[in-house]
Chains A and B, each alone.
Chain A
């Protein structure tokens, strides 16, 4: 049986929940097993996960689970996995997964592979999965040989697919242990754009912008697309933009459908976090900028002229 940990945040299932359930469903088909989704904490209509391929949806809406503590979540996931006899546990590769997957793996004495970015295959009796390594310079193919397996999945690895119908939500017979964490403050990102790791369209800018006062044209381009904004590391380091926008090897790693980079040179450490994007557009006035080698479409010109033109063309698109 494949147990999928579907993340809920502030009372709602996130995009990652639909992605991991779709992914879990495909792994279940590959192995000829059942796929069961598990939701911890509040989320109004968890049964909808049935239509993404979960044969059963289990939920523990204990209010104590809304304060995220990986120790508590791991205990519940582990007990549910034992009760149901899970062979594979699947989670999203994000802050919650990072605090939970390793714990579940220790508890189940499982083989644990994190950051997978393709549907695994069966080679002989082994489940083989792959992930990007060495800053996107190579792909690592790994057989997860343990009897039990814990896998975490990169965002945007699969598109959520409907393959069934909603199911009734079953409750979980596990009492969570008490958390030792207390949340004293929460700061939401003050924008209505999608969080960067989940965004499908991203507009990013670098030092070529000259200063934070010039970012209006980037915001306007992002608005025209419904995209999320990002930036290069020096831009975040000098405080031109908030840290959570920093993408690359030491920032957020993203794989959106479209990544537009304006005034970014394309250093290897920057590419490490963005080169898995499906389509890359580079706007740079230097024809030798390394980023052009990683781009699908390039515009060699002054960004201060090109970006407003691109925004206008998008606003007028059919």
Chain B
């Protein structure tokens, strides 16, 4: 079984986010990056489990600069066999999808996994784009993924519940919570990761139809109003008359 897993990096969630003076760029200094949790905990771990069950290989792919190699090595330590980095600063989800589709075309993957969303920009959009470029079926928000014969059986989130679907052949799947349990890389994995192949492919940026106008900080919350625990009638009154939410 040949599996491709798309991985991305995201600022560590507790990092302080700062912008350039004209508020158009994220300041990189002092930012710690991690593997995007959906890619790491769910997509990658499930890929490694499937490889353990059916044999085959897991390749991780990232579109990004050389500084991403640290998170790519982490993915190798968790159990991917090899890695590919398309060496270009991604301009948009569309350009990421375009690059990954260029790479994956003709390589006969049985499964392409990615995360439900990146937790920095929360796009939730790359998978559908990649599937369209590759003309493959796509299942979003999958919380379960198993193989029976030629068919994949996938549990996916839908509005107000879940659904199990069956699909034959190669499929693109975005992983959500429930698909696997987080794995902590062990010492042996970390040592082996250093020797696993990481191929770097040079590429030109693809045109993007999105331009950052600027970043802003959300308005400061007004100070919390503390309510006497013995006077919940007062809280109800405030919710009705002041906040007007009930």
- Please report A residues at the B interface, Cβ cutoff 8 Å: 7, 9, 14, 16, 68-71, 74, 93-103, 105-107, 110-115, 123, 126, 128, 131-146, 149, 152, 180-189, 195, 197-198, 201, 225, 236, 243-244, 246, 249-251, 253, 257-258, 268-269, 272, 275, 278-279, 281-282, 292-301, 305-306, 309-310, 312-314, 316-317
Whether B166 and A182, one on each chain, are in contact in the complex, defined by CB atoms closer than 8 angstroms, is yes
Q: B209–A145 contact, CB under 8 A? A: yes
Which residues B29-46 have CB closer than 8 A to chain A?
37-38
Query: Which residue in B17, B139, B211, B221 is a CB contact (below 8 Å) of A293?
Result: B221
Q: Which A residues are CB-close (under 8 A) to B215?
A: 133, 138-141
Q: With A112-B94, A186-B161, A314-B236 known to touch, is A297 a contact of B227 (CB < 8 Å)? A: yes
Contact string against A for B residues 96-132, beta-carbon threshold 8 Å, 1 for contact and 0 otherwise = 0100000000000000000011011111111111111
B131, B165, B169, B217: the one contacting A103 at CB < 8 Å is: B131
From the candidates B132, B221, B229, name the one contacting A300 in the complex (CB within 8 A).
B229
A sample of 10 cross-chain residue pairs with beta-carbon separation below 8 angstroms, ordered by A number, consists of A70-B140, A106-B129, A137-B217, A145-B210, A185-B163, A188-B160, A236-B177, A257-B245, A279-B245, A313-B233
Q: Which residues of B contact A7 (CB under 8 A)?
A: 159
User: Smallest CB-CB separation from A78: which chain B residue?
Assistant: B132
Is the C-beta of B174 less than 8 angstroms from some C-beta in chain A?
yes
With A102-B128, A182-B166, A306-B229 as given contacts, are A133 and B221 in contact (CB-CB < 8 Å)?
A: no
Q: Could you tell me if A98 and B245 are in contact, using CB atoms closer than 8 angstroms?
A: no
Q: Are A139 and B153 in contact (CB under 8 A)?
A: no
- State whether A182 touches B132 (Cβ < 8 A): no
B203 CB within 8 Å of chain A: no
Q: How far is the CB of A315 from chain B (nearest CB, A)?
A: 10
B1-59 at interface with A (beta carbon < 8 Å): 11, 13-14, 17, 19, 37-38
A143, A236, A251, A292: which has the most chain B beta carbons within 10 Å?
Answer: A143
Contacts of A300 in B (CB 8 A): 226, 229
The answer to whether A282 and B224 touch across the interface, beta carbons within 8 angstroms, is yes
Residues on A with beta carbons closer than 8 Å to the beta carbon of B163? 183, 185-187
> Known pairs A95-B159, A134-B17. 11 more at Cβ < 8 A?
A70-B140, A74-B128, A98-B128, A139-B218, A141-B212, A143-B212, A198-B159, A225-B246, A279-B239, A296-B222, A297-B227
A250 adjacent to B159 (CB under 8 Å)? no
- Chain B hits for A225, CB < 8 A: 246
Closest residue of B by beta carbon distance from A185:
B164
Considering residues B217, B221, B232, which has the most beta carbons from chain A within 10 angstroms of its beta carbon? B232
Contacts of A250 in B (CB 8 A): 37-38, 119, 177
Given A138-B19, A313-B235, A95 contacting B212 (CB threshold 8 A): no
Interface contact A70-B224, CB-CB below 8 Å: no
CB distance from A265 to the nearest CB of B (A): 14
B185 within 8 A of A: no
Whole-angstrom distance between the Cβ of B142 and the nearest chain A Cβ: 10
What is the bound-complex CA distance between A115 and B121, given in angstroms?
9
Q: Is the CB of A115 within 8 A of B124?
A: yes
**When the two chains form the complex, which single residue of B93, B116, B243 contacts A279, counting CB atoms closer than 8 Å?**
B243
The answer to whether residues A96 and B132 also contact, given A201-B245, A258-B245 and a CB cut-off of 8 A, is no
How far is it, in angstroms, between the C-alpha of A296 and the C-alpha of B235 when the chains are bound?
Answer: 11
Interface pair B159/A195, CB less than 8 Å apart:
yes
Q: Contact: B161 with A258, CB < 8 Å?
A: no
- If A95-B140, A145-B210 touch, whether A292 touches B224 (CB-CB below 8 Å) is yes
Q: Which residue of A lies closest to B133 (CB)?
A: A106
Compute how far the CA of A133 lies from the CA of B122 in the bound complex, rounded to whole angstroms: 7
The answer to whether A317 and B226 have CB atoms under 8 Å apart is: no
CB-defined contacts of A142 to chain B, threshold 8 Å: 210-213
